[in-house]
Structure 1
Amino acid sequence: MSDKKGRVFLRGITSETYGLKEFRRQQLDAPRVRDDSVVVDDAKVGHSGDSAESRTWWRVGPGDEPFLTQSLQVHFVELPPHSSNHGHGHQNEAAFYILDGAGYEIHDDQRYDWATDDLVLVHTDSVHRHFNPYDETARCLIFKAKSEWMYLGLIQQGRSGPVEDEDRFGPREDWSRVWTPDVEKLRKVVRSADTTWELTPLGRVRTLSAPGDDVRTFSVDAFVLDIPAGSRSGKRWHMADEILYVRSGHGYSLHWEVEAEIAEKYYARIAKEPTRHEIKPGDTLYVPHNTIAQHFSADGEPLVLISGQNRLFKQLGYDNVAYLENAPEYDEAHGAPAADRS
């Protein structure tokens, strides 16, 4: 748990040299698997949403030591039966994956119901509050790219209340006038029943949010990956870092570091040997930027992973994913010879 006096919203990079190899090396050397014993922020400092009953705690954030990433943050919200939190507003989006239970949101004075395995989107500039009117505890996993909003100066947030120095300002205006046209028509709740499983080079995937869909998020891409017992995912390389939550199952993940050889142009040099990271239910697995990763399911039950990535990378020119090896189920479905899955 952090002993900082204040919460870190945005982290700086300082170096005495132009090269930043030492900064990247520190990130690569940090442990990539975190379990329930890791609480980097218990929300006692600087969080305005909790009530006496609700609980919020962080797993990954920009103030972490050792530091992993600030391109995506991960925290959890828990609502006991027949409870709610206080609610608040912030300019950044947040994507809530419902791990357990059911309930509803009030966003900008509108109600949105949700249940287990749904994805709920808190849109930009939303005043939101979470409610659990039922007899089962509700628990949510949250991905958000909050630091990007902080970097851009979009920092107007807090609890509901009147503006300070109200006499200095005129009457209320419709804030949504500066939003992207028709953004209110996009989906706020992605229901599990409305998604489909697809067999992809990565494996069996249920997409929750992706560029070009009708889901109201511009910052978080999310999907669920189901790897059969004893099998493996595709081996893929992309520039964006990634955080995966282990929904169920056991296994491990292999990561190959990619080094930049800067000659007459950039060349990628892939490590000959990977690092291995054991994972179990409830863990979060961090895959660093510019890393090749492949996930393996142990025998017994499927390994189910919930993936979150920051979509900004795709807007910066890193929209492609290179597959060095496909999931065996994908190759078999497309007529390729069956491969050893171990």
Structure 2
Amino acid sequence: MKLVPLPLGSGILLVSLLLLLPNIIYSQSHSPIYAKVLCLNSPEGCECKISENKSARIFHGEAAVLEEFPQNTEYWKIRTSKQICQYPRKNLKALGYQSSFRPMQTSRDHSPKSLYQLLQQEDADRLEKTESQSLGIYYPTYYHLALEEAFPGTEIAAYSPSGKEIGRASATFLEQVRWEGSGIAKDGKKYHFAGEGKYELYDLEWGWGAGYGYQVYPYRTIAISFKDLCEKLRSKISSCSKSKVIGALAYIPKIKEKRIRMQDGKVHDGYFCLNDTGSPLYIRDDRMDIFVGVHGGGSPYQPAELSRNTFLDAGIFPLYPSDWRMYTSEKERFWCPQEKLPRNPYSPSETECKLDYHAIAPEKGMEMRIFFRKDGSLVRCKP
């Protein structure tokens, strides 16, 4: 499953130590302590007191920095992106992070592969003259390889599907491998989650995609729901299935228009390969997950420096948990039914759904296009 990670590590120790001390007032000498706001079954948000006579509404999943958190009070002072207010401490979940980790400071080359490496030469040569079709608007998140250096902790054994011990790594790192799909340990071993608490070792540049020999590449791979992609392409691809559409070449005009300067000094051309997927609980409908190598995943629950990636620096913002406004449990969110989605997300009508990212964060959406050859076949990246 590929989602924005919530890094854990030495920051947990920091949080634990601080919370043990009575009447602590946060100061700039400490790394900021981030917390996730909990506010269940409340689409209108929950009250956060600004003063005796004034309050604000904040929503489940919002990121907050703890400003004052004495142990003998019911409310803690928090700072969100919009205000400073007092919120019930029982509804704040402190989250740790590895404060010294800098995802952009890596020797790994994150330059996008050239189109001639990704496509058949004939397709690359004719691309500008190839017919394209819009898939509509897609909304991004980012995913990446987990790195053990960002998730230190107690070492445990990692086992293969056959039950053989294949290595040892920190428990928090292996949990992130389960979350992200793949990761690199401190000893250089590359782990891929194989399901049911088991792992496989692999020796690829970055990692496997969603099958059929496809690999993932930074700033070129997008994970989507192939089932939902097929729903959009049934009129063009008979008996559409994952095997017929995986690797489809996609183009996002907004990425090209942003003129994003990549590691190799070149401007990103806006092309991607749809060759990975994620959990159907999160990567569904018009959701896409962009692979960014070992760069940051854009998590709001840590300082910006720890979440950076090249696209985010250029203003391509991902969806955040708080872009869904109704949760029935910490992670179980409400998705607007397709028939209730606003026709104009910037101005939804009274009868249309306003409880998810379509109405809450419409500015994050980007058009995606795919390509068909003259014979009607889909242009796809090579495995």
Question: What TM bracket, shorter-length normalisation?
Answer: under 0.3
Larger strand percent: 1
Query: Which of the pair has more CA radius of gyration?
Result: 2
Q: Which has the higher contact order (CA 8 A, sep 6+)?
A: 2
TM-score (norm 1): 0.26
Q: Which has the higher helix share?
A: 2
- TM-score (normalizing by structure 2): 0.24
